[in-house]
A and B are shown apart, each in its own frame.
Chain A
Amino acid sequence: MRSLDTEVLVIGSGAGGAVTAATLAEAGRTVTVVEEGPWVDPDAIEPFSLDEMVVKYRYGGPAAALGTPSVGYAEGRCVGGSTEINSGLYHRLPGDLAEEWRRTYDIDEFTPDVLDHYAGGIESLLTVSKVPGAPPASSAVIERGATKLGWRSVEFARVFAYDEQGRGTKQTMARTMIPRAVAAGATVVPDCRVVRLLRQGPRVVGARCRRTTPEGATERLDIRADHVFVCCGAIHTPALLQRSGWWSRIGGGLKLHPTVKVAARFPSPLDHGDVPMHRVTEFAPKLTIGGSASRRGQVAMALAESSAEYEDALAEWEHVAVYYAAIRSDSAGRVLTLPRASAPLVTYRLTDADLSRLARGLVNLGELLLAAGATELYPSISQSGVARRQEDLVAWWDGLTRSRANLMTVHLTSSVRMGQEGALSGADSFGRVWGAQHLRVNDASLIPDAPGVNPQAAIMMIAARNAEHFLATA
């Protein structure tokens, strides 16, 4: 067994962990980051490809939250976490939502001013930008359909940097905050899974890890630390806390943005090198429409979910792109660690109102795509057939049932909510886990509710705020 000593241990290297590590290392703290997944050269793998899915996704692709219907979810499992696999959309937490959460959960120092301050700091370190010149054809579809229907749409900013030829590179954590942390002296240990936290009573003193060596062997590694930040995302943060003996209001209240999809076929080819950055905001915040990565693999999966005949459409996959409708859901799920199981049990039960909202989103999405010139629509409803005209859409209302809906999410939050309202929160206003000492959570788990927009900006600004609080107090 090997062991290692550090002042601060950060578990997880995604939007929460990387921001935490960079902030603390640059302030002169001795920081060690452990990451369960591999450290992949950001230039080595083509973005949004199937190779990327195999290497950077947990379980090599989507996993399912149990329930009827089940909701598939995807998480990054590599240095940089989900920032390596997402669309890079960057959306500051809306001020009115922050204000509502501040009141409901009694969160200290959570006013729009404070959050904007930290968002500004993040934005000065990443590159947040819009597309120079015309958007990709798959994104223009959204804008064109919305204009035709009189719906509001916006181009979302993304964490992308563009070179002189206009080629964009997503500014993931592996390209930004992780190198900053390393430059300031932080150590990053990839391929290292934390089995459980080490504790002396309520005080956390480190973590017991299982590390895979470059030669493929596994070894036990104990890391002793004065302070531990758990930043493993909304599924694995509560799972690790539970494995380490903390259960009170940990893992319940899981929130997500369930989505339904349509694979839409157009008369002419679309470009597939980028991901749409336009969103329909007409029905926000409860309902948002956008586009997904549409390489051949994603197109094939989306076509298959309709269980219609799709060989013809797949043969012409460059003409097909995948779009989605995402909802804010009324219900909540649970993360539960089971004895001896390596993966936690994740459950989520959609309400009838949620399912209805998804059906409404799907019909809206169908209208949008037809207005934009799509000729065939393959919805993510089993046995649904292909819709070609507006009159075909009404059947989706009754088609999207618990047994036939194929649902998915990439946004998971709220499983260790923050706030001083102890009955609702697993951690205090700055992520300190109730009942524990020297232990903080600093990731999507803290976000008290599903934000209705891409949460990565909110995760980063909250992580930066909590890291500054740590520096001021510990």
Chain B
Amino acid sequence: MTTGSTSAVVTGAAGWLGQNLVRALLSDGRRVRGLVRTPEERSLLELLGPSAEAVVGDVRDPSAVDALFAGVGEATVFHSAAVIHPAKHVRELFDVNVGGTQLVLDRSKRAGAARFLHVSSNSPFGANPTRDHRFTEDSPYHPYLGYGRSKMEAEQLARSYHERGDVPVVILRAPWFYGPFQPPRQTRFIAAVRRGRFPVVGDGSARRSMVYTGNLVQGLLRAERSEAAPGRAYWIADPEPYEVREVVETVRRAAADEGLAVSGGSPRVPVALARAAAALDAVLQARGRYVQPLHVLGELRDTIACDVTRAREELGYDPEVTLYEGMRASIRWCLERGEPV
């Protein structure tokens, strides 16, 4: 077992996962160097304590990533910076998710990093062929549109750095997150479900693996210490996938139990409409355009489910927080910050 007392470098440190991860690292007594995008994010991060240090810059910028690694030595690198929903152009997915990953891998190699934990996604694998199918670590790539292709290429890059002996790499594949420090899109999702405005495709029986951010942080920290992990990939998710209608019901129950008014039902959208959205999304993406609502609606028809057995067995991963508890924690976080949930 490695000691885990080395300092940590976190990209995307002010992001959804990054904020949860940095807090967990600091509470373990670790020193953290984080890459953030703005001076405001730096202030937020450095408020967390004297062991937290932030570098402001673009993950595509060699001089910013040099500053991130300056003097850190044999650190663990948590690479969680990525673009999921580009502002407008598909190109951004590749620039940040592939270009940024190459740069951080290169500097990890040069700094002699102890381990590189690469946060990946379900999107390089597309959708399951049936509702009962689960992705395992042996499932073949079948990337879904631009994001899926960019995260696939990033995984392949990370793997090549490991195979060449440049830096030990562990790939962690996480599906849809929930948990504190969520971005506005997740707050809008919860608010829409609470008000009965979130569309459920078909009968809502498609399954989705989801992961509570706290569970994902646990998976990352255990992957950092596991001797079996270098060179391997792991699915990190809640123990079992949920049916979409079950997610909707659980969010509504969690909202009610946090004292929020719950109204309406859950409007049904025909599967054909979701299919049409996915087709239009594909056409626009081929022309470089990204339209987030289309992308989200298109993806809602699919079962995207994974099996976490390998992470349990090899990393000792043991997801503790349930969907109901995690959603309540998210809603509380929104309420504390006055977010319009």
Contact = CB atoms under 8 A, between A and B. Distances in A.
A150 B109 contact: yes
Given A150-B109, A397-B99, A363 B60 contact: yes
B91 A360 contact: no
Nearest to A351: B286
Contacts of B62: 363, 367, 390, 393-394
Interface SS of A by simple majority: helix
Contact of B146 (A283, A352, A355, A360): A352
Interface residues of A, number: 17
B173 interface: no
A363 B95 CA distance: 11
A356 interface: yes
Contacts of A54: none
Contacts of B98: 353, 356-357, 360
B123 to A, nearest CB: 14
A113 interface: no
A64 B150 CA distance: 29
A153 B106 CA distance: 15
B93 to A, nearest CB: 8
Interface string A387-400: 00011011001000
B102 interface: yes
Contacts of B42: none
Contacts, number: 54
A25 interface: no
A150 B167 CA distance: 13
A310 B288 CA distance: 33
Interface string B148-159: 011001000000
A307 B220 CA distance: 48
Contacts of B109: 150
A165 B95 CA distance: 48
B89 A390 contact: no
Given A150-B109, A150-B110, A394-B58, A356 B63 contact: no
B248 interface: no
Interface in B99-149: 99, 102, 106, 109-110, 146, 149
Interface string A373-410: 00000000000000000110110010000000000000
A460 interface: no
A464 interface: no
A356 B94 contact: yes
A79 B150 CA distance: 44
B61 interface: yes
Contacts of A356: 91, 94-95, 98-99
Contacts of B14: none
Interface string B73-108: 000000000000000011101110011001000100
A352 B94 contact: yes
Contacts of A367: 62
A359 interface: yes
A353 B99 contact: no
Interface in B262-316: 288
Contacts of B60: 363, 394, 397
Contacts of B66: 390
A397 B89 CA distance: 13
A367 B99 CA distance: 14
A391 B61 CA distance: 7
Given A149-B110, A352-B89, A356-B94, 16 more contacts: A149-B106, A150-B109, A352-B91, A352-B146, A353-B146, A353-B153, A355-B91, A356-B95, A356-B99, A363-B60, A390-B62, A391-B61, A391-B63, A393-B62, A394-B58, A394-B61
9 contacts: A352-B89, A352-B91, A353-B94, A355-B91, A356-B91, A390-B62, A391-B63, A394-B61, A397-B95
Interface of A: 149-150, 283, 352-353, 355-357, 359-360, 363, 367, 390-391, 393-394, 397
